[in-house]
């Protein structure tokens, strides 16, 4: 079976590829010419089986190579097309955009060529699988849980990161947290992560077109979930558009059971876009009058704009019986019941500074129980109960 097709006038390179393929399953079919076929059909008609990998070796004109890559990207996107040559990084980006899946240094040795070919075969299999699932009936999408509040410093990041840890226990590696506080996001710090890639990479053209590329940009957290952190340079946030955020959340919801979104304070444009993609909104309020009033006005605006997600969870954070406000006062001001109350606790402040969310700890104090009650609200069994039970009154202790 010809898993590999090589087009090149360079017989020495042909020998190298042949040696590399002996370590892999399948054979190579070589065309010792510098002329590339007019389109995918012309090439495939000359073969008995469709190949998994096509290598365009030395001696092929670059514009012809890119033309063929573009055609294959449209006609047979599952086939991995590899270009062998010495190119500068700008050209490599251009080649990838055209549909080239990998670039091979022509001075590579047999082992290196074999490695690249093996990776190309794996990419082929993954894309085949994706095609098969794409042609199957659409699967249920995951929950997109956004954590919002008009005011800053009320505990959004604390709540979002603890939800991620809690859901990571229910659905290991089926959870991703996205930091959409693009300018001053601190999910990375709250989770003690030093990410190699950020939201900026995740909204790039290559990631938005290929979910496998997107997944390669996620950072794994040891508690069993993925994180997509904010860019380290606040000025880079300006480059991200609402359409890119909507696409990103849609892709992630197609891959993960739970997508958790931490947001910037207020109702910025990207926050509103995220809200429109959310199945669940977690509204966080502190136990102070400005925070409660802010939440009330925010919810009023969103009701008028008609962009309130289907399921609402109101979290009263930093609950304190001595704060001079009762739960009933707060509910009357917000115009909605408080679903979960999380006490003010030194352990939370401590956990932020250490970068270890409290739900990662073993002991169960009132703070941890509060977060657990919130996490439980995303458990399918809990959600199956009648709606009247969904907003039970909480007691402040
Ligand atoms: N329940 C709590 N008890 C004590 N401190 C808290 C609590 N929740 C949050 N904090 C602290 O408040 C600060 C702001 O929290 P953060 O989650 O970053 O808010 P936001 O994301 O809304 O700006 C952090 O230092 C955090 O440790
Ligand atoms: Mg925050």
Chain segment 64-84, per-residue pLDDT in tens: 998 988 888 878 888 999 999
Please tell me the distance between residue 165's alpha carbon and the centre of ligand 1 in angstroms. 16
d(CA 116, CA 30) in angstroms, rounded, equals 17
Question: Is 396 a residue whose pLDDT tops 70?
Answer: no
Region class of 179: left (phi > 0), else alpha (psi between -120 and 50), else beta: beta
Contacts of 255 (CB under 8 A, 6+ apart): 142, 176, 211, 214, 215
Distance, in Å, from the CA atom of 290 to the CA atom of 42, rounded to the nearest integer, reads 69
Taking the alpha carbons at both ends of the chain, their separation in whole angstroms is: 71
- C-beta 344 within 6 A of ligand 1: yes
**What digits encode the pLDDT tens for the residues 279-291?**
999 999 999 999 9
Nearest CA to ligand 1 atom 23: 153
355 C-beta closer than 6 A to ligand 1: no
Is the confidence at residue 195, as pLDDT, over 60? yes
DSSP character for 229?
A: B
Please report the pLDDT score of residue 324 as a whole number: 87
- pLDDT above 70 for 111: yes
pLDDT of residue 362: 78
CA-based angle 295:301:303, to the nearest 5? 100
Please give the number of the atom of ligand 1 that sits closest to the Cα of 317.
1
Distance, in Å, from the CA atom of 18 to the CA atom of 31, rounded to the nearest integer, reads: 13
211 lines ligand 1 (CB under 6 A): no
CA–centroid distance, residue 343 to ligand 1 (Å): 11
321 three-class SS: coil
Is the pLDDT at 346 greater than 90? The verdict is yes
- Does the pLDDT of residue 388 top 60, yes or no? no
Q: What is the mean pLDDT of residues 182-201?
A: 96
| pLDDT higher than 80, residue 26 | yes
Contact assessment for residue 334 and residue 295, using Cβ atoms and an 8 Å cutoff = yes
The alpha carbon of 173 and the centre of ligand 2 are apart by a number of angstroms equal to: 23
Atom number in ligand 1 closest to CA 349: 27
pLDDT at site 383: 80
pLDDT at 138 over 60: no
pLDDT value at 20 more than 70: yes
């Amino acid at each position: 079976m010809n898993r590999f097709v090589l087009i090149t006038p360079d017989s020495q390179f042909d020998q190298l590829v042949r040696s590399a393929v002996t370590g892999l399953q399948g054979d190579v079919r070589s065309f010792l010419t510098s002329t590339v076929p007019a389109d995918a059909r012309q090439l495939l008609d000359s073969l008995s089986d469709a190949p998994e990998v096509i290598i365009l070796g030395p001696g092929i004109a670059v514009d012809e190579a890119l033309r063929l890559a573009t055609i294959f990207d449209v006609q047979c996107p599952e086939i991995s097309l590899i270009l062998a040559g010495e190119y500068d990084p700008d050209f490599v980006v251009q080649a990838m955009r055209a549909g080239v899946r990998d670039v091979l240094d022509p001075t590579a040795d047999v082992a290196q060529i074999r490695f690249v070919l093996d990776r190309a075969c794996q990419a082929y299999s993954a894309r085949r699988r994706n095609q098969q699932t794409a042609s199957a009936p659409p699967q249920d999408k995951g929950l997109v849980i956004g954590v919002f509040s008009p005011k800053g410093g009320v505990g959004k990041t604390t709540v979002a990161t603890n939800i991620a840890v809690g859901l990571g226990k229910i659905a290991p590696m089926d959870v991703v947290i996205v930091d959409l506080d693009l300018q001053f996001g601190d999910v990375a710090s709250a989770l003690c992560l030093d990410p190699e890639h950020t939201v900026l990479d995740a909204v790039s053209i290559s990631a938005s077109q290929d979910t496998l590329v997107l997944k390669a940009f996620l950072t794994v957290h040891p508690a069993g979930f993925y994180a997509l952190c904010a860019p380290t340079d606040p000025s880079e946030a300006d480059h991200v558009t609402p359409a890119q955020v909507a696409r990103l959340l849609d892709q992630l919801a197609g891959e993960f059971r739970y997508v958790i979104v931490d947001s910037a304070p207020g109702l910025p444009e990207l926050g509103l876009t995220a809200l429109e993609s959310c199945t669940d909104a977690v509204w966080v309020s502190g136990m102070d009058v400005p925070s409660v009033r802010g939440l009330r006005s925010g919810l009023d605006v969103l009701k008028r704009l008609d962009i309130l997600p289907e399921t609402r969870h109101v979290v009263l954070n930093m609950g304190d019986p001595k704060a001079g406000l009762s739960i009933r006062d707060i509910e009357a001001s917000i115009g909605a019941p408080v679903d979960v109350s999380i006490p003010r606790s030194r352990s939370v402040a401590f956990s932020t500074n250490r970068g270890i969310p409290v739900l990662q700890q073993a002991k169960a104090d009132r703070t941890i129980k509060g977060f657990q009650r919130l996490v439980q609200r995303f458990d399918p069994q809990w959600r199956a109960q009648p709606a009247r039970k969904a907003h039970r009154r909480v007691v402040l202790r």
